[in-house]
């Protein structure tokens, strides 16, 4: 059970919640703040002062006053009217992370929501009552209104939820889990549906996948360097120290360690000045290092957002006021998602060029054409390289920024929007593409190293190649390749190759702290 302290939740905790579906408990210190802000809302709900979303309508209807006896109906109507999402259901891991992020945000004590409502949300997580949340419908403006409304509807006993493998009504799901629906008090519906938690959950998942891929690319590139008998002079530490870029220095250091003790490397050490290798071999620390630095910046932004109060209006404890602001605008998340997308596209682009080099007999330094044992009769990895090019191109298109798009909504009240939701959602597809590219590179490089026998690669890379060939047989002759490429992608996606290479320990927070 992870104890989460609003304002202090770490990237490591967030990754565990996403990867492991870890159980969470909101730190008890949050309940004091939650109850204080709820009391403030209750005190003003029936008063004469117009306070947005508590005794007024919403958006363009903010000037419409709501009678005290209608405030509960106002919150119910708000949630149900905003359940307008369409498309497929969000992945389970994303929904759980979204729900935890909402708990953390409410735990800041600025949302005016009652403790019993927060307890119900936590109980739904504990008992695995998972709302059905259509993925399309948010423009990242007044938060992720539609997706979060589908979550809030289940808390009221409406909508649909998955419980014990069955999709049922929200009311039935809660009853089967031994839970009771909540009747929302003033401000509570708005507190639940306002905020960036849907977009942030997707962006964090994309970040964690991208960081895994960046580290995996250090392995795949090191394997390719040995397979192509490329120079390791460009990895000399002083070169990177003279530039001073943190990610670049780290990447070069990791690759030097991976290649340490390679017989292939020693066999051509004296020829290191024979030619300048293409950039895809020579400049990987510069490219993946820059990507890692950008992922680090995105990580810092998303950690802040995960700990933020992002609904509206907010109960300000220091001023004892309830005020409208704009923390729901998801521009920080949109920018972070675009950064992650750019990083993944570039890691894949340079990896694909290495695959192309390895299969090209004019560039690969005596490797057989397309890494086939009998080229001509066999086509080897010819079309696997084409597949990697298709994946690379798709990621280039997907990497176009979403944050620069905007369209007015809600009768021009919400006249500038972030598009964070689909900017973050695309990251999962990009990560799948990237890890397939890296799987193909590892396949190609492992085959290339096999052709260097009896010379052996380094001990670290030998373990990687051995683990790879445990899963995927060497390519002695042409065969049906699709299943092999999917297996290579699964290996690249897992922690097994990182563990074999001793690179598995470094999470993104450790990189930022180094």
- Domain identity same for 183 and 216: no
- What is residue 269's predicted lDDT score, i.e. its pLDDT? 72
CATH code: domain of residue 188: 1.10.275.10
Burial class (CB in 10 A: 0-12, 13-18, 19+), 219: buried
State the catalytic residue, choosing from 52, 202, 279, 297.
52
Q: Same structural domain for residues 163 and 53?
A: yes
What is the four-CA torsion angle of 439, 441, 447, 451, rounded to 10 degrees? -160
69 and 162 within one domain: yes
The DSSP symbol for 183 reads P
Does one domain contain both 456 and 392? yes
Name the more confident of 141 and 154. Answer: 154
Using CA atoms, how far residue 94 sits from 19, 91, 205, 212, 426, in Å, is: 10, 5, 7, 18, 13
Clarify whether residues 467 and 445 are in a common domain. Answer: yes
Q: Are 162 and 255 in the same domain?
A: no
**pLDDT band, very low/low/confident/very high, at 270 (cuts 50, 70, 90):** low
- Same domain, yes or no, for 228 and 185? no
- Cα four-point dihedral sign 51, 54, 56, 58: positive
Structure tokens belonging to residue 233? 């002079």
Residue 275: what pLDDT? 62
Asked whether residue 220 falls in the same domain as residue 189, the answer is no
* Residue 251 pLDDT grade (very low, low, confident, very high; cuts 50, 70, 90): very high
Highest-scoring range by mean pLDDT, 40-44, 52-56, 361-365, 490-494: 490-494
Scanning the structure block, which residue is given the tokens 């006896």? 69
Percent of the chain with pLDDT strictly greater than 90: 84
Structural domain includes residue 343: no
Q: What's this model's pTM, rounded to 2 decimal places?
A: 0.96
Of 62-71, 235-244, 309-318, which gets the smallest average pLDDT? 62-71
Q: Are 342 and 205 in contact (CB under 8 A)?
A: no
Is the pLDDT at 274 greater than 60? The verdict is no
Residue ranges in 46-176 assigned as alpha helix (H): 71-82, 92-106, 115-126, 145-155, 170-176
Q: Lowest mean pLDDT: which of 1-5, 55-59, 191-195?
A: 55-59
**Alpha-carbon distances, residue 146 vs 86, 121, 152, 168, 253 (angstroms):** 9, 17, 10, 20, 46
Query: Where does the pLDDT of residue 407 fall: very low under 50, low under 70, confident under 90, or very high at 90 and above?
Result: confident
CA 274/CA 243 separation, integer angstroms: 25
Residue 68 has pLDDT above 60, yes or no: yes
- The CATH number of the domain holding residue 213 is 1.20.200.10
Q: Which residue has the higher pLDDT, 306 or 413?
A: 306
* Overall number of domains in the chain: 2
CB atoms within 10 A of CB 305: 24
- Average pLDDT of span 18-29: 95
* pLDDT above 60: residue 273: no
- Measured distance CA(324)–CA(327) in Å, rounded: 9
What was the pLDDT predicted at 271? 62
Q: Is residue 337 part of a domain?
A: no
Task: Please check whether residue 314 lies inside any domain of the structure.
Answer: no
What number is the average pLDDT over the span 125-136? 98
Q: Domain ends where: 174, 195, 216? A: 195
Q: What pLDDT digit, counting tens, does each position of 323-380 carry?
A: 989 999 999 999 999 999 999 999 999 999 999 999 999 888 789 999 999 999 999 9
Rounded-to-integer distance, Cα 186 and Cα 201, Å:
27
Asked if residue 242 has pLDDT above 90, the reply is: yes
157 in helix, strand or coil?
Answer: coil
The percent helix, strand, coil of the chain (3-state, each to 5) is 60, 5, 35
- Rounded to the nearest integer, the mean pLDDT of the chain is 94
> Is residue 52 annotated as part of the catalytic site, yes or no?
yes
Q: Would you say 23 and 323 are in contact if contact means Cβ atoms under 8 Å apart?
A: no
- Is there a domain that residue 246 lies in? yes
Q: Which of 146, 163, 195 is the last residue of a domain?
A: 195
Same domain for 170 and 282, yes or no, is no
Q: Which domain holds residue 109?
A: 2-195
**pLDDT given at position 226:** 96
Domain-ending residue, one of 136, 167, 195: 195
Per-residue pLDDT tens over the stretch 424-462: 999 999 999 999 999 999 999 999 999 999 999 999 999
The answer to whether residues 369 and 357 touch, using CB atoms and an 8 Å cutoff, is no
pLDDT, tens digit (0-9, with 9 covering 90-100), for 381-395: 999 999 999 999 999
The string of pLDDT tens digits covering residues 469-487 is: 999 999 999 999 999 999 9
> Do 355 and 221 contact (CB within 8 A), yes or no?
no
pLDDT for 83-123, tens place per residue?
999 999 999 999 999 999 999 999 999 999 999 999 999 99
């Amino acid at each position: 059970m992870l104890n989460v302290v609003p304002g202090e939740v770490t990237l490591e905790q967030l990754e565990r919640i996403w990867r492991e579906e870890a159980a969470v408990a909101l730190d008890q210190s949050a309940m004091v703040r939650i109850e204080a802000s709820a009391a403030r809302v209750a005190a003003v709900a029936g008063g004469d002062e117009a306070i947005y979303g508590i005794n007024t309508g919403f958006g363009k209807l903010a000037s419409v006053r709501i009678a005290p006896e209608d405030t509960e109906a106002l919150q119910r109507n708000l949630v149900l009217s905003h359940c307008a999402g369409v498309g497929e259901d969000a992945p389970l891991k994303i929904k759980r992370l979204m729900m935890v992020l909402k708990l953390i945000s409410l735990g800041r004590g600025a949302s005016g929501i009652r403790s019993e409502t927060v307890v119900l949300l936590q109980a739904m997580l504990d008992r695995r009552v998972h709302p059905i949340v259509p993925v399309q419908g948010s423009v990242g403006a007044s938060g992720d209104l539609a997706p979060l409304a589908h979550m809030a509807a289940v808390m009221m006993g409406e909508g649909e939820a998955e419980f014990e493998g069955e999709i049922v009504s929200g009311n039935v799901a809660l009853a089967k889990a031994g839970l009771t629906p909540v009747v929302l008090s003033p401000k509570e519906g708005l507190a639940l549906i306002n905020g960036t938690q849907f977009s942030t959950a997707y962006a964090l998942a994309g970040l964690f996948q991208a960081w895994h891929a960046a580290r995996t690319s250090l392995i795949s590139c090191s394997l390719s360097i040995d397979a192509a008998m490329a120079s390791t002079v460009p990895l000399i530490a002083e070169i990177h120290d003279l530039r001073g870029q943190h990610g670049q220095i780290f990447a070069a250091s990791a690759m030097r360690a991976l290649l340490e003790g390679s017989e292939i490397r020693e066999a051509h050490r004296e020829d290191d000045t024979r030619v300048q290798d293409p950039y895809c071999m020579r400049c990987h620390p510069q490219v993946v290092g820059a990507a890692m630095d950008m992922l680090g910046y995105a990580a810092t932004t998303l950690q802040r957002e995960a700990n933020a109060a992002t609904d509206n209006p907010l109960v300000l404890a220091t001023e004892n006021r309830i005020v409208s602001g704009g923390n729901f605008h998801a521009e920080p998340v949109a920018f972070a998602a675009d950064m992650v997308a750019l990083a993944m596209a570039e890691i894949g682009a340079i990896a694909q060029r290495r695959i192309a080099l390895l299969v090209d007999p004019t560039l690969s330094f005596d490797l057989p054409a397309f890494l086939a044992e009998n080229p001509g009769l066999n086509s080897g990895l010819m079309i696997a390289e084409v597949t990697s090019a298709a994946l690379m191109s798709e990621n280039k298109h997907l990497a176009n920024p979403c944050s620069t798009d905007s369209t007015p909504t809600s009768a021009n009240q919400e006249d500038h929007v972030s598009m964070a939701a689909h900017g973050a959602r695309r990251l999962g597809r990009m990560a799948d593409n990237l890890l397939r590219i890296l799987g193909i590179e590892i396949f190609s490089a492992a085959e290339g190293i096999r052709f260097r026998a009896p010379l052996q690669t380094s001990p670290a890379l030998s373990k990687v190649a051995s683990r790879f060939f445990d899963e995927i047989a060497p390519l002695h002759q042409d065969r049906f390749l699709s299943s092999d490429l999917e297996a290579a992608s699964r290996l690249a996606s897992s922690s097994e190759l990182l563990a074999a290479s001793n690179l598995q320990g470094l999470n993104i927070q450790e990189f930022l702290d180094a």
